[in-house]
Every structure is written in structure tokens, then in C-alpha cells.
Chains A and B, each alone.
Chain A
Amino acid sequence: MVYDLTDNLMNIPLYYIWKNFLARKLTTGITITGIALVVFVFAAVLMMADGIQQTLSSTGSNDNVVITRKSSSGEITSIIDRATADLISTMPMIQKDETGKPLLTSDAVTIINAPKKDGGGLSNLAVRGVSENALKIRNKITIISGRMFTFGARELIVGKAIEERFSNIAIGNTIKFAGDNWVIVGIMDAEKSGFESELWCDASQLIQAFNRVDYSTLTFRISDNANIEQLKALFAGDKRLNQYEPENERKYFEKQSEAMRLFIQILGITITIIFSVGAMIGAMITMYAAVANRTTEIGTLRALGFQRMSILIAFLVESLITAFIGGFIGIGLASILQFYSISTLNFGSFSELSFSFALTSNVIQGALTFTGIMGFIGGFLPAVKASRMSILAALR
């Protein structure tokens, strides 16, 4: 029987690719490591940006509206006096709870100092005084140990992230601020949102303790038949209310991190572009060397009847395999980051914000696509060179 190899495009000598792989273990290993590092950094940056995004966009629900003073830079610098708060609480577009009371919380937000666990000294923590309906409005929050604080008492519930980062945070311990001792009675989980980095207490107690008069912000659940645009128009048109503005709660918190997120994205994209070019070059160098060293073999394969296209695909596949091995290692390493969280000063709220690295499907997709592109572009030109070699030149 005569096998007509010249007809079969897909006769790619796979075992040939595999053998060559093993033959050049060291340089292949180096190339893979390089690609793994690049993919790791790429994924890590994406994960950081996504982590910040997740934290801040999960802080806040689309069903809620936040009222702040116009042109205040954050909740801390916003001031809403009692009269205005009372006025707003009577508005019809606020949903009512089962007893007919408005689902509204008047928050007083401030900052205190607390010592960190890792000996990093004092850091700023946000304390949020809330009203009785607060948990119903922010329903992503659950008390995971202890209980909710009692209104009228100087008690606190503490976000999970604070328990992890700051010293002496446990149920039964007290924290001293505003000249009084506040008892921790519960720990809350807020689905990794910004609220997990806060201490909550009774708003009126907070205001009293700090000798304040006014609230910082109001948050309420908007009723189904109302929309935010109507609300904005209403505020803008009313002389008593035009100093204040309503905003979708989720959007409000997202904006607080906008600067930081933007920065990480810009930095991340710049670095990634630079890196990817570097990685492609690394891959190219390896592949060109591979081609150059195997001219005789290529010539032999061609003489035996393998098509040019088969040769090209063989080298391209080799390049892609190398890249993907590196890519998977990089993603694997990046996934370890999920166990770490970072806390930094959020300039929007001037208090500590914890966020973790989020390995979303977005990140994995992005990293794999990136890897594929690197492997393809890095291997393409050398593969073309291999396929275009004339048999005679190769065998000489």
C-alpha cells in the first residue's frame, strides 16, 4: 500500500512536536516561566481592579437611594440637618415597611482611630450611626455572630473585615471614642462590600457623643413605581431641597472609588501592553531558535511528504502549547491571591477599605485570551519561516 501523504493536510507530526519539547527542556522551561509571570501580573492587576469594583459596587443596592449634600466629596463631608431629614422622610416615593414606617435610615458618619493588628499603628475607621430600619434597607448585611446593637445604648456591631485587621475586636470588648466606651455586641458580614470595614451604632447616640446636631446622609428604599430621575427633578426644583442631591446607592459608592479604580486600570493596561509585547518577543526568540536548530529535520519531514501547512501548524501548535502551559501556571498562581485581601485608604471616605482579589470569569477569560494571543503572535512568524524553507536548503 502506498500512503499518499501529500494529500493529507492534517498529518501534523504531533509526536514530533512532543519529542522536541522534551529535548529542549531548559530553554522551553524558561520561556514558560516568563509567560507564566506575565500572565500572573496581568491577572493580578485585573483581579485587583475587579476586587475594588466588587467591593464598592456591592456596597449599595440599586433599590436604594442616598441623599447627600451637593458637592460634598463623601459621606464624611456631607451635612443634612434634622429639619431637612424630617422633610425628606415624608416623601411618598419611599417604600414603607409592614408597620407603615418609611424604609429610611438617617446616617451619621464619622471617623475614629484604632490600632491595627499587624503593628502598623493607628488607622482610620468609619463609624456609621444608623436608624432602626437600617438592616431592612441594606439587606445584604447579616449578623454572623452576637446580635444587633440595642438602640439607645452605646453598643456597636463590627464589620468582618475589621475583626480581621484590627486588634482587640471581639464580642464583649469595648472601643473608646468620643469620651465613652462602646461595647461590641455583634459581627456583621456584608458580602465583602465596603460596609464590612465599618462600625455601626445608633445614630442618635453617635450624634450625642460627638456633640453634633446634624446627620451626614439619608438612605431609603425607593418604591417600585417611582424612579430616580423624578426624584432628582423634584429635589432640583424645591428651594428647601436643592442643596441636596439623590443618587442611586450603588452608583454613589462606585463613584467614591472611581479615582482609585481608574488609576489601577490605567496602570494595569499600560503595564499589560508593555508586558505582552515583551512576552511575545520572548516566545518569538525561543521559536526562532527552535526553527533554526531544526532545519535538517524540517527538510527531512518535507522530503518525506509533509505539507508546508503541516509544518507551519506544527510549530504554531508548539508555540501555543508552550504559551498555554505558561498561561495556566500564571492563572493558577494568581488564583492563590484570592486568599489575600488588601486594605488601603479610600480617599472618598478617608477611612480604611478592605478589598480582595476577585478571580472572576472575566479575569480568566481575559488571561487565556491574552495567553493565546501571545502564543500565536510569538509563534507565527517563526512558523512561517519554517514552512517556507526549501527542502534543499534545509537538508544541506
Chain B
Amino acid sequence: MSSIISISNLTKVYQRDKQEIRVLNNISLEIAQGDFVALMGPSGSGKTTLLNIIAGIDRPSSGNIIVADTQIASLSETELAKWRSRHIGFIFQFYNLIPVLTAYENVELPLMLTPLSKSERRSQVELALNVVGLGDRMHHYPKQLSGGQEQRVAIARAIASDPDIFVADEPTGDLDRVSAEEILTLLDRLNKEFGKTIVMVTHDPYAAKRAHTTHHLEKGDLLQEESKL
């Protein structure tokens, strides 16, 4: 399988006051298309930073990164925004739904950037919501939904624009066991049924077990690889 994400000698340094903090230290890594990858490590290990760089919402200080055949580090902000909307689907720990919009409208949001007509958007939205199993709650507001349902709406939003890569930052971090299970099953489906590549940051070993590949980071360094097929 070809790599959809190729990282070589990636370093990220932060300047805080007079100190230089190396968040990522010369990371090299390949992620195959259709893989389900977990990034694990203690807090401060740099896993979230790595995820952010892969997703195109942060830039490396040095090194090379190719995602979906694009050298994303050399894109301008505007080009990056366009690229993101086409290739990346985000799933956050705190769902980050817009409270004044219904589930339907939240899912529709990324589609507003596309040239699709209203009815075309509708079919995409309904499809996405059905995939996550919330077809009957389309017109509910986030506060009317449980945590697990909100996360599913967030996943539907990520699905709606049909990206190749899903980026999830602690997707089950705020959920109870049952809801967490539902979400992980959903991610599994996206991966197995729809062939989507998933990169997930988590510190929950139970969630990591659902992934095929796990990478460990510690203090900015990439440790040995664990695979499970």
C-alpha cells in the first residue's frame, strides 16, 4: 500500500520567552493509505502537535511532509485552507459543534464552501447523518444531544465533504465507556468499509487497540513501532 502521509526529518520548535522548546525532534514516519493509526504518548510528548501538522493546521520548523501528494508546508494559508477542506476531516475531543446550528446545519457547514446546490448539499448531509445513525435527530440542537450523539454529529460533519484522511484528537476523551465504544466502532467502519485513512491521538490504550498501527512518542521523539493486523 502506498503512503498517503510521508514525513521525513520533521522538527518543530517553539520559542517561549528566551527558551527554545523542541516539541518534535527529527521525526520520520510513513502512514499507508487506508491505515488506522494511533499516536500515543504521555502529555507533552508532541503527539497532538504531530497530528496538527499532518492536518495542516500547524507548520513544521524544518523537515519534509507530504500529505495526499501535496507538500503542505509550502502552501500559503489560503491554499492550505482549501486543501484542508478537500482532504481532511476533523474530529475533536470536545466535538466543537456550533451551538446555534442544528445537527443538520452543523454537518452542512463545510459544504457551504463547495459549489454544490442546496439539494445536492441536502443529500450529502442526510447520507452522512445516516452513516453515523442520527438520521432521526437532524433538526436537534447540540444541547439537546448527549455527548456521544454530539460526537457522532461531529463525525458526520467530517464525513460530509468526503475527505481521504480523518484526523481525530482524543475522540473518546470526554465520553463514557458505552459512547466511546460506539464512536470507535464508527471509526472502524469508516476505515474498513469506506477505506478512509485515520490518524488518531489517544492516551486510552483501549481505543488504541482498535487501531492497526500505533506509534509512541516521548518528549518529541518517535519510539518503536507496534503493528497489529
Direct contact between A and B in the complex (CB less than 8 angstroms)? Answer: no
Please report A residues at the B interface, Cβ cutoff 8 Å.
none
Please report B residues at the A interface, Cβ cutoff 8 Å.
none
